[in-house]
Chain A
């Protein structure tokens, strides 16, 4: 109890309160803008956080993350254009509610559900993260190695699209992570004559390139731009009626628990949790035929679940030191830049960061509720900003922001290169999330794996003789088997249908990757409901 009170002491420092407020507002604004997701925004902001204390930096970025999750709902409901991936599901019934003149209650119930879901997850985070951190102190390199592999596999599997393409992306990310100094022998790897590459690639440059510039390029394709979309929907009364609240309370309750649990699973945050919640709500609904035609439960459940899961996704980061989604992995990188290694020792060695961040998330949650309901009309005005204005802004801010990291133009060129790579990957259906996550997890994974092999004298037995790592490996094997069986079944079904479905091509328009967390393009959201 003292610990969380200490956290509130940190969170109530004026600079941290300002960071929460700024983060939430910025998050909602960005969430409203199609084409900008939490990953891009946080990447753009990372250079600005270098001058801040670690706690303030994470508080600001966590505020952005929470704000984006809500802001994405506004465009989902009003334009059927999800501002970020997790709001794709909301677009189905939220937009239908808006067409029936009930945009206000749809946005209102989203805000309420988001608040409840995030609060439930925060309570779980408060009690569960320290306990898990205690447990994690007993884990050795073999468990960490298998846990990181498990995380990568699950993220690739849950990411949607082709599993093999996700594994190609993960392999590329792991390889890119090896460029620079070998953490164990000190040898320089794959740097050529480049002095910059001795330190390896900067994660911010890669992420801004893949997600920021790559996203802009992808949206430049004919038919992808959102220019011309204008807000014509009348918002009306925002507060849901008692009947709406009565219909939604079950969905919000289920979404809170479900989202909290799904967020703990690697790759489970955001889209996956909202998809699962939507499925559950449709199954338990008294009137399932209303789903897809404006059922408020179809908005309340998924919105609650995606906010709960994005909050509980902090549990593995703060307790194990292993980020299980791309957005959280960026926060992991920020902590590293500030000289803090996230992990089981974080709660004891840096209680200001650990408890300060958790306490600020409670405050941010209240701030979001207060801001979102009365200011929905104001945020909607942001939608009038055209993508053709936003695009050069994103490119210029990203590139100059990268320059400010080390006052060198090298990172700018890296970002442009990875922008092209990101564009091609999206075009050809290779998910970006596994690549970035593998890049960030690569060093943990390599160190843990090599330490394990050194401990065992080069024998892989160490991974199967320890109960923890054996259990995790069995789960990995189960994922691979299940994936293979699914592939063959899908193949058999396709042959039966006699047609090649576009889904199997793994092309990105089939819906945003759950692990990417990237903002879906105009083309993506339109196809989602066809699935």
Chain B
């Protein structure tokens, strides 16, 4: 059977592809280890979640549930709280049967991220948007990103300028604090 040129190219491509496929290893498996809480801590998480549901029920009843024909403002929150509680109990049972949740180990960096976000809002509210942007970019890229100082300066200047242009100039946002305040 005579092949035309395009078929020959396809055939060659297919052969090349098959050769490469055969020459490579199996797909790589990457192991990821997880730190899991033990039984008590896992139970504590799920009991806590269930308690939130119980609190929701309590608040709903306090609001006034009414009747099915004349539902009060608390009827629907009561249903939501009941769903949370029932599902929460199911998670407790699952935990008792052997399921575990991830531990908080490794949460120091996320906690620092939260702290930076809080610092940002405080500076934004009471000092200056520019100071807030400089602080969050510099601290984040240096302390969390571990970038060299040169990169920290470049990204801080670029990020601050870009966001100030976007929100301050383009959208004319009335910022809560003066733009150029010195901390």
Contacts and interface: CB of A to CB of B under 8 A. Distances in A.
A465 interface: no
Nearest to A393: B159
A154 B126 CA distance: 46
Given A168-B91, A290-B21, A409 B145 contact: no
Contact of B83 (A174, A393, A420, A491): A174
A145 B110 CA distance: 39
Contacts of B163: 393, 396-397, 400
B169 to A, nearest CB: 13
Given A389-B141, A392-B136, A189 B73 contact: yes
Interface stretch (A25-33, A334-342, A352-360, A503-511): A503-511
Nearest to B64: A187
B90 interface: yes
A216 B80 contact: no
A101 interface: yes
A419 interface: yes
Contacts of B83: 167, 170-171, 174
Interface in A155-204: 162, 164-165, 167-168, 170-172, 174-175, 177-178, 182, 184-185, 187, 189-190
B59 to A, nearest CB: 6
* Chain A contact surface mostly: helix
A128 interface: no
B183 interface: no
A221 interface: yes
Interface stretch (A274-282, A312-320, A373-381, A421-429): A421-429
Contact of A175 (B20, B26, B56): B56
Contacts of A404: 167, 171, 173
Given A395-B136, A428-B45, A526-B30, 11 more contacts: A162-B99, A171-B81, A386-B145, A392-B159, A396-B133, A401-B167, A403-B124, A450-B71, A460-B68, A504-B94, A527-B32
13 contacts: A100-B17, A167-B87, A182-B73, A187-B63, A190-B77, A241-B13, A404-B173, A409-B124, A427-B101, A450-B71, A450-B76, A507-B101, A509-B32
Interface of A: 48, 92, 96, 99-102, 162, 164-165, 167-168, 170-172, 174-175, 177-178, 182, 184-185, 187, 189-190, 213, 216-218, 220-223, 227, 241-243, 290, 292-294, 386-389, 391-393, 395-397, 399-401, 403-404, 407, 409, 412-413, 416, 419-420, 423, 427-430, 442, 446, 449-450, 453-454, 457-460, 491, 494, 500, 502, 504-507, 509, 523, 526-527, 529-530
